């Protein structure tokens, strides 16, 4: 089972994960970071800014989880643009070393395979940040996604389009299709760090961590990963049956273990 860490706030979670990422980059200057978009990972990126001052990030590589299909090149809500705005520029990463699946219609048939090849050539992801959708998706792997799936085009659920409509003028502007790393792709990352904040995520978190392992709740794939850390605030932890045990285990976590 995944390790579950319950913290008082997204800020505390951001600090904990940022510390781990800094340790990784110091140990391995060309570390491969698995980058996530959405609101959830923002505290991590924010906490990284001061911590990376004076750390050489010129060799750091990164791969985003997913992208919308069919947005015009340079659209500010494309995940390519979001990753540049929220991660690459603030952290001073080399944009040439950061990849996002290509969502342009031109070449979309082989964009998934190309991305898989690039991930393999990079030697795989060291630490993969993940959010979880209210419908249980990770990346854009909606319910029903195969645990063996690789990067491919998917159709977003109506729920996900509603959840993401806040970034667009209206829900009609939210793309119907996306390209996302598959669950099989995500499972190859050496360390998964799934973050969730707020009561709206409580059911998805409880299902993912304590429910049945099922493609109907793609986040439950974390239960099959040898090194998965799930970090939640109190509200997102509110449906967890074993919350007291997770608190007890974290309070007694051996210092040498790291995250
Ligand atoms: P959010 O999205 O971080 O904006 O809540 C999470 C997700 O859909 O994976």
Contact 181, 139 (CB under 8 A): yes
Looking at residue 1, its pLDDT comes to 67
For ligand 1, the distance from its centroid to the CA atom of residue 252, given in whole angstroms, is 30
Note if the pTM is more than 0.95.
yes
In the sheet that 66-68 helps form, which strands lie side by side, from edge to edge?
66-68, 177-180, 152-155
Is residue 259 situated within a structural domain? no
For ligand 1, the distance from its centroid to the CA atom of residue 141, given in whole angstroms, is 12
Residue 139 CA, closest ligand 1 atom number: 9
Is residue 235 situated within a structural domain? yes
Q: How many distinct structural domains can be found in the chain?
A: 1
Report the nearest-CA residue for atom 7 of ligand 1: 133
Does 141 sit in the ligand 1 pocket, CB within 6 Å?
no
Residue 57 has pLDDT above 90, yes or no: yes
Is residue 216 situated within a structural domain? yes
One DSSP character per residue, 154-171 reads EEPPHHHHHHHGGGSSSG
Sign of the Cα torsion 145, 212, 16, 258 reads negative
Q: What would the mean pLDDT of 11-32 be, rounded to a whole number?
A: 98
CA distances in angstroms from 48 to 52, 68, 97, 201, listed in the order given: 6, 26, 18, 24
Is residue 205 situated within a structural domain? yes
Residue 130 CA, closest ligand 1 atom number: 9
Does 131 sit in the ligand 1 pocket, CB within 6 Å?
yes
Give dist(CA 29, CA 66) in Å, integer.
24
Is residue 256 situated within a structural domain? no
For ligand 1, the distance from its centroid to the CA atom of residue 39, given in whole angstroms, is 6
Contact 221, 156 (CB under 8 A): no
Rg (C-alpha) for the chain, rounded Å, is 17
Q: What would the mean pLDDT of 153-176 be, rounded to a whole number?
A: 96
Report the nearest-CA residue for atom 4 of ligand 1: 38
Is residue 98 situated within a structural domain? yes
Does 59 sit in the ligand 1 pocket, CB within 6 Å?
no
Looking at residue 186, its pLDDT comes to 98
Point out which residues pair with 98 in neighbouring strands: 62
Q: What is the pLDDT of residues 84-132, one digit of tens each?
A: 999 999 999 999 999 999 999 999 999 999 999 999 999 999 999 999 9
Does 218 sit in the ligand 1 pocket, CB within 6 Å?
no
Share of the chain above pLDDT 70, in %: 100
CATH code of 161's domain: 3.40.50.1360
DSSP H helices in the chain: 10-27, 42-51, 79-83, 89-91, 108-121, 158-164, 183-187, 202-210, 243-251
Looking at residue 258, its pLDDT comes to 86
3-state secondary structure of 52: coil
Is residue 220 situated within a structural domain? yes
Domain limits for position 225: 3-250
- Give, for ligand 1, the residue of 36, 40, 134, 180 to mutate: max count of ligand atoms closer than 8 Å to Cβ: 40
Is residue 66 situated within a structural domain? yes
């Amino acid at each position: 089972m995944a390790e579950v860490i319950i913290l008082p706030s997204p800020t505390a979670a951001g600090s904990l994960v940022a510390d781990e990422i800094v340790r990784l980059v110091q140990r391995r200057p060309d570390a491969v970071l698995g980058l996530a978009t959405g609101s959830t990972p923002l505290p991590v990126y924010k906490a990284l800014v001061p911590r990376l001052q004076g750390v050489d990030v010129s060799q750091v590589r990164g791969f985003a989880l997913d992208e919308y299909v069919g947005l015009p090149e340079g659209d500010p809500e494309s995940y390519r643009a979001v990753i540049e705005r929220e991660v690459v520029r603030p952290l001073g990463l080399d944009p040439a070393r950061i990849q996002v699946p290509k969502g342009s219609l031109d070449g979309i048939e082989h964009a998934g395979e190309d991305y898989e090849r690039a991930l393999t050539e990079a030697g795989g992801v060291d630490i993969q940040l993940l959010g979880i959708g209210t419908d249980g998706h990770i990346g854009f792997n909606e319910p029903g996604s195969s645990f063996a799936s690789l990067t491919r085009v998917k159709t977003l659920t109506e729920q996900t389009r509603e959840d993401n409509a806040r970034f667009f003028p209206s829900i009609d502007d939210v793309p119907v299709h996306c390209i996302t790393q598959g669950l099989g792709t995500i499972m190859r990352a050496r360390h998964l760090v799934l973050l969730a904040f707020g009561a709206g995520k409580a059911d998805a978190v409880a299902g993912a961590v304590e429910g049945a392992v099922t493609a109907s709740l793609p986040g439950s794939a974390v239960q099959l990963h040898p090194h998965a850390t799930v970090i939640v605030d109190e509200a997102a932890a509110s449906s967890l049956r074993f919350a007291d045990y997770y608190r007890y285990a974290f309070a007694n976590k051996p210092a040498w273990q790291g995250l």
